[in-house]
Structure 1
């Protein structure tokens, strides 16, 4: 027999006796086709040779040969059916049809009213029966139990704005009697509108941090390119050899401090950019979901203010090391000039 979810087998490819796809099809003189083993067993159980379909009798047992045309057609059909079934069977991690027996087919929809997932074949009543057409269908999900109220075992199809949680109709008569209650779908639509604004804000935050990241990297490069330092120290090397060594060590320490600060800022910025991008992706996926219960359960956490820094006032000065050097060199030059003056006198 055909498996659920496979194409319907045409009657011309079915054996009238076993009702399965023809195997080694043979045709009787009256034109009807059967599996070779089925017609042989049928005639073995009867005292006369007649067609199981039209009941036409034959004086002698007909010599039957395999119908090559039907054999080729049935083989092609079996290959296509096997390929189709392999494609439809649920793979690890995919949502299975709750109605399939034995080997489960992949679910194509989940019903929030029935709280069941269906393959294409078992979904058919929801597309045909009037009362079932009104049921809310969503993309298949494996955790349908999360859409049920833990207290009343009823669908979570309402939203309590007072407690900011999803509730069932019975909850409105008990714990949430005096609260502001709206349909979950209505609240979901309203929150999705707010989600667009949040997405834009996060996108701008990412862009601002990328800009700041590039700015800090450029400043790091500028801080490393300081040929003036070498020229200044070379000119004074003979007269201030000892001070030169001490000053170089000071510059290195300042340089390392600058690099440590810049690397720390870069690390923080890259982390914030990564988290913001990840949050932006989740928000974008959330805005497209049809599962309003999952949306509302996830909305508050995802739209809460993010723990990020305000980078607008954070700056780095690329020339502070060079400024220190220049001041020190000026002082040394002044001292050297005075020394020269005294020597001249």
Structure 2
């Protein structure tokens, strides 16, 4: 069936055969297919799942024809009739013997090099000498079936030279060659053609499946894009609210500062005016005494008038200038911190969607590292356990890897480090050295951070990078994007970014890497704990 054209073609199209539905049926998950296509798909599979969304059904559904959809399809087909492919008709071969009205030939004779209708063919079927002639289905180009050298029918095939021969060619030019009847070689070629056809059909099915996968990926991507857009709208809405709140608080603060400054200025002016009044009175007294003739009185009050009175030293008092720039700077710094926190929260929330279940691998654990029964905790003991020294096991440092390796995509996990004074976390390449001294660096296959001496954090790049953290992380999130070459670490509880390795080139599998570090006389006895991801709201 060839696909019909029109606006509704895609909606009325089976995603298996990519054609307009024939006897459409609906799966329990709500997708539609041709009944024959879906049954054939399930017959060739060990499980029954939807070819479109991949939902698996425990029991094979009893398929009923969707009558409503079939009526729509029938109506659509009537309005848009199918364009059936044109069949190339072979030119009709006529009898070479008929004189007046030429009849259609039934057979062609390679010996006589003529074609015969049913009437004129009768002698070839009756006469003994003619019965030995080579008869084939009627063809117009009889000369192509005759050896041009010996004028005999081409009845043999030379496998050495890959060419057709007559019997004389087989005796002369191809005497020692591998020759077989053309019928035998034709059957062999048919078998090869059937295999090729089967391969082509498989290629068609592979491409149909690829189209389905691409459509499914596009649908998933669109859904994820919509979710991402909604998350970004929510983020920017929060940021706008934060900016508006910051603006309001800044204006209120500036208004309060202005009122406080005005009140201070009023008090200062009042004090200055009071002192000016007192000084004017004193100046008047001094002026009067400077002209007095009462010498005794002048001597009696001289010391009191000349002594310094309790007045303020106004040279030490300054009027505070505009603080708006300083206030604005503080507000912008606070806004920047809020913005960074919101962005990190959004990133962390997105990364948590790629959470994977990580379990510690006992075959890699150093003998001093003690794992919990569920494989979710690792602590360092004081005595080494008696364990087989297999190639996967670390034998010098207190390290352990996760069981699950990852060679593509994105993944995320969280580890509780609360109460520890030393630890190491990150990712390691499967091929890393496990024996003797190791170097934690990307060039040696490790992407890690560590804590030493209770408060010294570092990223173990080349060279190492000291990390200044505002708060001590209690739970660390590790995110990896294999294709992007990214390994990021986050403080989950404060929703803050710790460090990221970017632009890395990963090869082979990556495994989660852990080290609870030495017990340190009980000071560092708390285990590292792989915790379930609690999605940030």
Q: Which interval holds the TM-score relative to the shorter structure?
A: 0.3 to 0.5
Q: Higher relative contact order at CA 8 Å, sep ≥6: structure 1 or structure 2?
A: 1
TM-score w.r.t. length of structure 1: 0.40
Return the structure number with greater strand share.
Answer: 2
Q: Which has the larger radius of gyration?
A: 2
Return the structure number with greater helix share.
Answer: 1
